[in-house]
Amino acid sequence: MRRPGALEANLLCLYFSCSHALATAPARHVSFQPHVLLREAHRADVSQIQRCNLATLPENYHAGFYVDHIRKWPQLALVAEYVTRPDSGSVDASAPSSDRSAREIVGYVLGKVQGDDEGHVTSLAVMPDYRGLGLARELMHHLHENLAGQGAKDVDLNVRVSNAAATRLYTGRLGYSVESVVGGYYQDGEDAYLMKRELCRRADEDAAAEEELRDVWEEPVRSARRDGVRRRLFPRAGREAAAAEKKLCLPRTLPMPDAVRAAPQFQRPAEARRPQKVASGAQ
């Protein structure tokens, strides 16, 4: 066997030096930004879903109700999770995190299919600090998509007649219409609107969905502009990319603009945000 010459020996030394340097080089740092993750719910999320329900709705359920719902309709139980820092212990971003201080469920929606083709919204709730950011609309759009995927042709829900904000949401951006008033529907005797809409996709609905992506956190951004902070949520050059990202599939990440993260409620730790119990959502 021929012994390597000086040039070959130098090349071998260079090769092994480069290989060692690449193997021991630190991983490239990727900047992390807090965001909201929309995903399907898991059984490990039940305690946080229940916490969100207790904090926002007068109609409450025991833990077994959520476990049974997730088991029967896994694609119709969706959560919005505020992620404040990366979780090194989990590879799958759509999986529930073991580090509960890094993630907080701030909204959820539960749906089901009744009979062969009747969809129903069981419950929708968003924590008070996170209302007005478009999360309820996003959760409902994904629920509609999944209901249609399971064969539902239309969907209905009940909402308190006194809940003007929820009524505007459903009849406005989400396309529901009031079918009737159900007397004494709730345990405290209050009447409910029975609302319904078809699930067939319309061309104008697709256009509205793309527009809603720009509307997320619209008011906080306008407030920042009034305060002299000039930011465009979707610069002109990036609008096509933003529209392409508007796919109704999960998991899905909603970036949090600086104007939203700078709001006072997001400067307090999660445990310091004590939501007050207010009526919202559909039951």
CATH, residue 263? 3.40.630.30
Residue 255 lies in a domain: yes
Please give the residue range of the domain that contains residue 33. Answer: 29-272
Residue 278 lies in a domain: no
In the numeric block, the tokens 């945000």 are attached to 273
pLDDT of 277 reads: 37
Residues of the chain with pLDDT under 50: 91, 203, 206, 221, 224, 228-246, 274-281, 283
* Tens digits of residue pLDDT in 203-238: 455 456 556 555 555 555 455 455 544 333 333 334
pLDDT of 176 reads: 95
Q: Are 107 and 86 in contact (CB under 8 A)?
A: no
Q: Which two tokens stand for residue 114?
A: 């009744």
* Tens digits of residue pLDDT in 181-207: 999 999 999 999 999 999 975 545 545
C-alpha span between 159 and 197 (Å, rounded) = 14
pLDDT of 34 reads: 86
**Which runs of consecutive H residues, i.e. helices, occur in 35-162?**
46-56, 63-72, 135-149
Number of folded domains in the chain? Answer: 1
pTM of the model: 0.69
Residue 222: how many other CB atoms lie within 10 Å: 11
Residue 264 lies in a domain: yes
Residue 277 lies in a domain: no
pLDDT of 249 reads: 81
